[in-house]
Amino acid sequence: MNATCRVALLAAMTGLAVFVIVAFVQSGLTDWIDTAGSLMLNAQRAPAWVVETARDVTALGSNGVLGLFVVVLAANASIARRKYEATLLIGVFAGGLVLVGIVKAVVDRPRPGLLEPAVRVFTSSFPSSHATLSAAMATLIVLLLRANESRSANTRFYIGTAMLVCAVIGLSRVALGVHWPTDVLAGWALGPWWAAVCWLLASRVTQTFRSM
């Protein structure tokens, strides 16, 4: 197993463990943490420009914006004849949408009602789709950069940027009053788990075909 696959396996194991723990304790044991965290991070008590900034940031993790970003990256990979990467990008994103929808339907957690939300929402709360999908794509980008480190002299910069964007997107969901902190934490765990599982499966399939 190469170094990138070991990183993917670690991400998969860690993400799954954290997600299972959060999914278990969110039944009521974390209510006080969620309440305190939501009140502390909520942006509605801040100046209006803070709320607008949070809206701008949270849009980066929306299905439309993130989906467009994925399509552009996949198109660039296809043009460069890296169809393996293009397929992974589309597969992780599309599969992530389905996965989040299933988990939301099963858990069916109500949205926070402590304060009036600053943006409109249409689905249940757990997990945060924005946090899940942005974390999944950030993890996949990290794995792709590690596997192709020779292609960029700024690999660490790109990895750090991806992680930072993922973090602020998740925090913006709590700030806007549309998610509990544990919804975001679950998304940060589920997203990397999903990306890592897809990476490992794709690597396994590729190795199998090469050996035939």
Which of 9-13, 148-152, 193-197 is the least confident region? 148-152
Amino acid making up residue 192: P
Inform me whether the pLDDT recorded for 73 exceeds 80.
yes
Q: Is the Cβ–Cβ distance between 6 and 17 less than 8 Å?
A: no
Cα of first residue to Cα of last residue in the chain, in angstroms, is 19
15-41 tens-digit pLDDT: 776 777 666 666 666 777 778 777 777
Provide the sign of the torsion angle of the four alpha carbons 117, 123, 127, 130, taken in this order: negative
Closest CA to 136 of 184, 212, 187, 81: 187
Q: Which residue, chain included where needed, has tokens 């463990």?
A: 17
Give the pLDDT band of residue 95 (cuts 50, 70, 90). very high
Inform me whether the pLDDT recorded for 143 exceeds 60.
yes
- What's the confidence (pLDDT) of residue 178? 87
Inform me whether the pLDDT recorded for 88 exceeds 70.
yes
- What's the confidence (pLDDT) of residue 48? 78
Percent of the chain with pLDDT over 70: 79
Question: 58: Cβ–Cβ under 8 A, 6 or more apart, which residues?
Answer: 119, 130, 169, 172, 173, 176
Inform me whether the pLDDT recorded for 68 exceeds 90.
yes
Structure tokens that stand for 190 in this block: 């589920």
Give the pLDDT band of residue 66 (cuts 50, 70, 90). very high
Alpha helices in the chain (DSSP H): 3-25, 31-41, 48-59, 63-79, 83-107, 129-147, 155-175, 181-211
171-187 tens-digit pLDDT: 988 888 888 888 898 89
Give the pLDDT band of residue 50 (cuts 50, 70, 90). confident
Give the pLDDT band of residue 8 (cuts 50, 70, 90). low
Rounded CA separation 137/104 (Å): 19
What is residue 211's DSSP assignment? H
Sequence spans of domains, the chain: 3-16+48-205
